[in-house]
Amino acid sequence: MRLAALALLAAAAAFLELVLGPVPIGIGDAMAALFGSGDATTVTIVQSLRLPRMLLAVIVGGGLATAGAVMQGLFRNPLAEPGVIGTSAGAGLGAVFAIFVGLSGGWSVSVPLFAFIGAAICTLACVGLARRGGRMPMTSLLLAGLAVGSFAGAGISLMLMNTTQYALRDMTQWLLGGLDGRGMSHVALSAPIVILGCGATLLFTRALDALQLGEDAALTLGVRTEGTRAALLGLAALVTAAAVSVAGIIGFVGLVVPHALRRLVGPRHGALLPASFLGGALLLTVADLGARSIASGLEVRLGVVTALVGAPVFLVLLRRAVREGRAA
């Protein structure tokens, strides 16, 4: 019932993405435009501008929240988030490099491709640094993620300091996150990876539940802990890389959504993972609507909106968790 309610809310918010905007479109006209009928201008606005944006809000938000739920389960810590192993920082480094060398014209797929490659390289570097004797301690992985993320941040800073004013604007816009200027090519690039990756995590719900009891208990229950962790880390990193590569760096979605939904659907990952996808899609769709509506004639960057909304919400949840003794 709660999953169904989340799905309805997410669907309603997604449809509002097609209706609301600088040019308001009626519900009937938006439905007709989806199927290519009606006024030509309305069809162009809906199919070329708002539909890709709506689909990306659902895909990116759902993917980041699902990856966040997986990372929190693996680290057994509600403060973990998708970028903890350097994936987001690597994506930022790859995207900024693409813009730095002049491949950002018209928001082509070059920037997302380089972002995805950067995310993959930094994630693999993090895993390689953390692995010792065939094992991958979570503490070592976290520390490696901090180091790799810092290195990627330094690379981004160097390019920001030594670029043209035009490229600097593009770099800043990408780093602050947003869905403006994206088309169906960006949807085609990210959607298959995010959907398949999130679907694959559902195969590991029992293992994730077992890992919450500790490694020894999980081994007793027949879970191959090292292989399971490696597979889940790979899936979470893949989904995060695909989402961030097309939307830029979007904070707090993967941190706040699964943390909040544990109170709604419980800690079992069979319910938490799909709920996180729906909740992430809902949050990012609403945030994108807000980004387009906060200031008249000026679109606020999506990453700024999620931070403005997510940080206070997370502080409230964290304070409540500390009072209940669950924030360790």
What does the block give as tokens for 224?
Answer: 């191959």
Residue 98 lies in a domain: yes
Name the domain count of the chain: 1
Range of the domain at 137: 2-323
Predicted local distance difference test score (pLDDT) of residue 324? 67
Q: What is the CA radius of gyration of the chain?
A: 20
Residue 308 lies in a domain: yes
Cβ atoms < 10 Å from Cβ of 22: 10
First to last CA, the chain: 31
DSSP 251: -
Residue 328 lies in a domain: no
Predicted local distance difference test score (pLDDT) of residue 202? 94
Q: With a cut of 70, which residues of the chain have pLDDT below it?
A: 104-108, 134, 295-297, 321, 324-328
Predicted local distance difference test score (pLDDT) of residue 299? 74
Predicted local distance difference test score (pLDDT) of residue 31? 87
Judge whether 114 and 295 are in contact, CB under 8 Å: no
Predicted local distance difference test score (pLDDT) of residue 27? 84
Three-state secondary structure call for residue 52: helix
Q: What CATH number is associated with residue 64?
A: 1.10.3470.10
Please state, in angstroms and rounded to a whole number, the distance separating the CA atoms of residues 52 and 41. 16
| Beta bridge partners of residue 295, listed in sequence order | 298
Cβ atoms < 10 Å from Cβ of 39: 12
Closest CA to 10 of 218, 274, 225: 274
Q: Which residues contact 233 (CB under 8 A, 6 or more apart)?
A: 74, 85, 127, 136, 141
What does the block give as tokens for 17?
Answer: 């993405």
Residue whose token pair is 């479109």:
25
Closest CA to 238 of 135, 120, 69, 139: 120
Half-sphere exposure of 155 (CA within 13 A, CB side): 19
Predicted local distance difference test score (pLDDT) of residue 142? 85
pTM, two decimal places: 0.91
Host H or E run for residue 304:
helix 302-323
Measuring CA to CA, how many Å separate 156 from each of 93, 108, 110, 151, 204? 6, 20, 17, 9, 35
Predicted local distance difference test score (pLDDT) of residue 325? 60
